[in-house]
Structure formats: C-alpha cells, structure tokens
Amino acid sequence: MWTSKPLVAKGKKPTPKKPTKKKPVKKATSPKKRVWPLNRVWQWVLAVFLWGLLALGGLLGYYAFTLPDVDAVLAEKQPPITTLLAADGSTLATIGGGHDEWLQRQDIPDVLINAVLAIEDRRFYEHGGLDYLGVLRAMVANVMAGDLVQGGSTLTQQLAKNMFLTPDRTLRRKLQEAMLAFWLERHLSKDEILVEYMNRVYLGSGTYGVEAASKRYFSHSARTLSLGEAALVAGLLKAPSRYSPLSNRASSFQRMQVVLGAMLDGGFISQQARDDEPNPVIKGRSGVGGEKYFTDWVMAALPDLVDQTSGDLVVQTTYDAKAQRAATDALAAALTQWGEARNVSQGAVLVMSNLGAVKAMVGGKSYAESEYNRATTALRQPGSAFKIFVYLTAFEAGMNPKTRMRDSPFILENWQPQNYNGQFAGPMDLEQAFARSINTIAVKLAEQANRSDVILTAQRLGITTRIIRQPSLALGTSEVRLLELTSAYGVIANGGMEVRPYAIQRVTTRDGAVIYERRSAPLRIVEAKPVRYMQQILAEAVKTGTGKAAQLKGRVAAGKTGTSQDFRDAWFVGFSGDLVTGVWVGNDDATPMKRVTGGFIPARVWRAVMEDL
C-alpha cells in the first residue's frame, strides 16, 4: 500500500519542518462611543446662572439703595410749590398747594372707592402690590385691540410712581416701582394705601386729591359725591387734563360712562342704577389768564425731567410776556372782527424760536371757557401747509425751484385733484407752483418722489401723528398738531437742524441747586441745499403767492397757507428772523367756516403777531 512520505537520501536525517507561528487573534471590541462633556456644559450653565443672579442681586440692591426716603414722603401731606419764571426772570406763576382737606377712610364714600377699584384695580384687596393676573389680562386686551388700551399697574404701583418716581418708562423705574409697591403693602394696610392714594392723586385743573377735585368741579365735598360724580372723578385718573370737565365736558361724560360700565361689570352697581344716573352738574370754572395754556403745558412736562420728591422747585421757562400779549391780542381781535360773520369760533397761536424755545402759546379763544389746548393737542387737517414735506422730498431727490411741471388735469386711483380756482394753468416752475399753491403739481410731485418718502420726511421733521398713504396725501388730508407743524417749519427756518419744542430751560431747588438744565447739540436732519430751496419758495409764497397778507414792512417773511376741505381749517405757518409762528382757526366741532382760507384770517393774525415782535 502506498504511503505518502518524503523521500530522504540514505545516511541523512530529515530536516525538521519549522513550526509556523500563529498570529494572535485580536479580541473583538465594540467601537468607542463619543462622550459629550455634559458635566462641563452644566457647570457652565450653573456658573452663568449664578453670575447672572449675582448681577441681578447687585442691580436690585443698587436700585433699592437709591430709592427715595419713603417715610419722609409719606409724612409730607402737601405737594411742593413750584414757581415758574419767565425768560426774563420775572415770576410767571406759583403752582402748588392744590390740596384741600386730608380725608380719612371714613370720610371717603364707598361709591367713590368702588368706582376707582372698578376702573383701575378690581383685585386691590387680593394682590400684594403687583397683580399678575391683571398684567396678563391687560396683555391679552392690548393684543386683541392692537393698541395699548389697558395697563396692568395696581393702585399701589400708581401710588408708588406718583409719590416717589418720575413717569419715564425705563427698567430701573419699573423695578423701583415694584419694590416700593411691595414696601407699601408690607408697611401699610389696604385702607391706608387707599387714603394715601385718594388724597394725593392728581385730578386735573390744578387739583390734588379727591376733596380738592370735588370742590373744583362740583362745588361740594367729596363726602357727598353722587354715583355719577364719583364715576367722573374716577374717570379722570387715566388722563386728568384730557378728561377734565372744565376743558372737555363731552369727553369727561363719555369717560364717566366707561367707569359706570366697569362698575356694572364688576358687580358694584345694578343695570338700573347705571341707566338712571344722569350726567352731573359741573359748577366749577376754569382759571383765567392768557398764559395758562403755557403754564399747563410746562407743568405737564415737568415730571419727565425731575423727581417729584425734589421739594419746592423754581422753573426757568422760555416764556416771553411780550410775545404772549401779541399772540393773545391778535387772535382775539381777529375773532372779534370776523368770527360771527365768517362762522369762526376758535383759534390757536404758537410763537417759538427757530430752535424750538416756545415763547408764547394761545390754546384757544378763552381759557376761562375751555382749558383744552388746541395748540398742542387738537388734530386738524393742515391742507396746503403740508406741502413743505412734498417739496422738500422732491428737492432732496434732485429737483430745484426752477424745475418745470405742468398744471393739468389727471386721474389718480379714481380721484382727480382740483385747484382752488377750478382752473389749470399749464407749464410752470416749482417755485410758482408752490407760491400759487397748485394742487395738481403737488400731487404729481408726491407721486414722483414717492408718497412713502414724503411721509418719512414729515416724520423726520417732527410729525408724530398718523399720516395716511393715500393719493390726497400731498394736499394735507392727514391730521397734525399745530405745535408739531410749527416745529417742522422751524427746521427750514434754522437751516436744517432738528427742532424739538420745549418750554423748560432750567430747574432748581428753592436754595438754587440745579437739578435739571437743558443742554442740546442740534442735529442736522436736512442738507443745506434743499433747505435753501425751501426758504426760497416759502419767501416767494409770501411775496407773490397765497401768503401776501402776511408780508412784513422792511423784513423778509416766509411761510405757507393751508386750507382744508370745505373750509373746516385755515392755517398760516411761517418765519422771519429767528422766530417761527403758527396760526390755526376753525371750529371745535369741525363745522365749515364761511370761505375762510389760510391767506385770509390766519395770515393776518400771523402778521399782527410778528409786527409786534
């Protein structure tokens, strides 16, 4: 049988075969997992949190340290006295002591407390100073309304703000307000907080506290307020000047109905009680004096500049007695001469420097009859006085006063602009078109320059009211305030520098320590060339155009007339030297005048004012 053996030569031993080395077998291992340094991440998060907490604690500690002396303020039962000085240093007015008798809890009628709680703070007896549910409710209401219609501040917060803080909307002020609210809730009872609030709150027409307000408006003590009277007083809390029955009785009664509705909704009164309650009889009268519109405006602006706990104050204003007399007399004379015949019952006049220092303010025909300030508050259509924004936008886009356009009929979005005389004059340059107040060319300019840019120009020059982007935009169909429009003309008058109207120059303590002083570095907002073009066409409008009645003897005058649709508003705004003056006439209920244009009564009032200065 054959076997498989290696053949070996005789006499030789077979060479042993070297054993093969086996390669070591590597044990299978699972792939390494990438481990995230979670511990390190959490350490950083914790560190950031702790440092943030430490910083917040330091910030709150600093804010707490800088809080006013609460005990000292609570001990003071009368507001500080404020002395207003005219620009020449003479005493303009002394304001303060508007309190009456300090009422105790038992003296304040429940109907008044219920009215205040219903409209301002229904959960007053349930929260500890801050009403988180109230804040949430206000947020929801504001979102649904698309506007700021409700606030979330409690009565305690309002007391803290009114007594100790300025009304500026900063994080610091809000945090300090919350701290003070908590302090008040811990150291005073709910009734004590109510007593402090009811006796200190400002209620319009120079009155502080419900007793002074009751006597001012109804000629009797707050102890005997009726339901309607209590609702009216409570309604003043939102905006004391706007809803004062001495300045705007209709708005005051409308606000009263809102409060009665809140009382009904809160279960404080029945439907029958609301339906049966008549409007209260207003027996108070406004103060007198042509300067009162000015001093009211100053006092409204003062809390934004100084701490209300600063004690007695001396306020240096920009008021000029000569300018005030000139403005008051000119408007009064015009309304006496033409008011009845032309159906003109109201007017307003503003005189300011071309950098915004308000020297005179006439807010209406008679402060004694109406405290409503038409110079600072009323919204009216400016008509062609708005065209400065159209022409300035065009000049900034590269046009000039000699650029020619055609006065001709055309239709824009199913609307056809018309000129005052109903005629069309054909080709002319922009200087002529502005002087003659040609409407068709103004509308064409606004379209070429872009309506949106015209709106931006108006806003840049200080117009804050809503401007509607409609075809008739160029003709001044959106409402403005006289104060803002006059300030905008001031930008052109001063060569293109920003104008922010003001009345307060300096505030000191009774001892002379300065606590506020106006310092401003005017900002250029319009370049020199477009400003020169605007000055040129405004001067031409007075020299040869619709503003001829405003011409001054021996002085260059520049300005623009404005007349709204159906003669509801008539304006003249212009400047000469370093003074800018704005005039408006019309009727509060917007009834048409009898063909009163800006070139008629307003231009003559403007000239009378400026000739005296």
pLDDT digits (tens, 9 = 90+) for 466-475: 999 999 999 9
Burial of 28 (0-12, 13-18, 19+ CB in 10 A): exposed
Strand duo 313-317 + 346-353: pairing? unpaired
Which residues, other chains included, contact 409 with Cβ-Cβ below 8 Å and sequence gap of 6+? 416, 424, 440
Among residues of the chain, what percentage have pLDDT more than 70? Answer: 81
Mean pLDDT across the stretch 503-509?
95
pLDDT at 147: 47
Phi, psi of 181 (to 5 degrees): -60, -45
pLDDT at 3: 44
pLDDT at 277: 92
pLDDT at 149: 46
Phi, psi of 364 (to 5 degrees): 175, 175
What whole-number distance in Å separates Cα of residue 577 and Cα of residue 380?
A: 27
Work out the pLDDT band at 7, boundaries 50, 70, 90.
very low
pLDDT at 446: 96
Catalytic residue among 247, 384, 487, 576: 384
What whole-number distance in Å separates Cα of residue 221 and Cα of residue 101?
A: 9
pTM of the model: 0.67
Has 120 been annotated as catalytic?
yes
Stated length of the chain: 613
Q: How many other C-beta atoms lie within 10 A of the C-beta of residue 249?
A: 15
Candidate from 146-150, 237-241, 302-306, 549-553 with smallest mean pLDDT? 146-150
Q: Residue 207: helix, strand or coil by DSSP?
A: coil
Question: Is residue 390 a contact partner of residue 446, using CB atoms and an 8 Å limit?
Answer: yes
Range with top average pLDDT, 1-5, 130-134, 366-370, 520-524: 520-524
The residue whose two tokens read 């406004």 is 286
The residues pairing with 263 across neighbouring beta strands, listed in sequence order, are: none
What DSSP element (H or E) covers 257? helix 249-265
pLDDT digits (tens, 9 = 90+) for 263-282: 999 999 999 999 999 999 98
pLDDT at 564: 96
Mean pLDDT across the stretch 341-350?
97
pLDDT digits (tens, 9 = 90+) for 540-598: 999 999 999 999 999 999 999 999 999 999 999 999 999 999 999 999 999 999 999 99
Sign of the Cα torsion 549, 552, 556, 557 reads negative
Per the prediction, the chain carries an average pLDDT of: 85
Work out the pLDDT band at 15, boundaries 50, 70, 90.
low
Task: Tally helices (H) and strands (E) across the chain.
Answer: 20, 12
Phi, psi of 559 (to 5 degrees): 180, 180
Candidate from 123-132, 296-305, 558-567 with smallest mean pLDDT? 123-132
Work out the pLDDT band at 170, boundaries 50, 70, 90.
low
Domain ranges of the chain: 321-611
Answer whether residue 168 shows pLDDT above 90. Answer: no
| Strand segments (E) across 433-509 | 504-509
What whole-number distance in Å separates Cα of residue 119 and Cα of residue 231?
A: 9
Answer whether residue 5 shows pLDDT above 60. Answer: no
What whole-number distance in Å separates Cα of residue 565 and Cα of residue 70?
A: 55
Phi, psi of 351 (to 5 degrees): -125, 125
What whole-number distance in Å separates Cα of residue 109 and Cα of residue 119?
A: 16
What whole-number distance in Å separates Cα of residue 281 and Cα of residue 251?
A: 15
pLDDT digits (tens, 9 = 90+) for 371-414: 899 999 999 999 999 999 999 999 999 999 999 999 999 999 99
Nearest CA to 343 out of 593, 564, 567 is that of 593
pLDDT digits (tens, 9 = 90+) for 346-374: 999 999 999 999 999 999 999 878 889 99
Answer whether residue 136 shows pLDDT above 80. Answer: no
Residue type, 94: T
| Strand segments (E) across 146-212 | none
Four-way CATH pick for 321-611: 3.40.710.10, 3.40.50.620, 3.30.1050.10, 3.40.50.1010: 3.40.710.10
Whole-number Cα distances in Å, 568 to 148, 245, 411, 537, 588: 30, 25, 25, 26, 10
pLDDT at 8: 46
Nearest CA to 194 out of 140, 167, 157, 156 is that of 156
The residue whose two tokens read 């300011």 is 352
What whole-number distance in Å separates Cα of residue 38 and Cα of residue 41?
A: 5
Has 447 been annotated as catalytic?
no
Answer whether residue 71 shows pLDDT above 80. Answer: no
pLDDT at 153: 81
pLDDT digits (tens, 9 = 90+) for 215-258: 889 989 999 999 999 999 999 998 888 898 987 889 999 999 99
Answer whether residue 72 shows pLDDT above 90. Answer: no
pLDDT digits (tens, 9 = 90+) for 173-188: 566 677 777 888 888 8
Distance between the two ends of the chain, CA-based, in angstroms?
Answer: 149
Residue type, 493: A
| Residues 325-336: b if buried by 16+ CB within 10 A, e if exposed | ebbbbbbbebbe
Question: Is residue 112 a contact partner of residue 227, using CB atoms and an 8 Å limit?
Answer: no
Nearest CA to 586 out of 575, 600, 576 is that of 600
DSSP code of 349? E
Answer whether residue 439 shows pLDDT above 50. Answer: yes
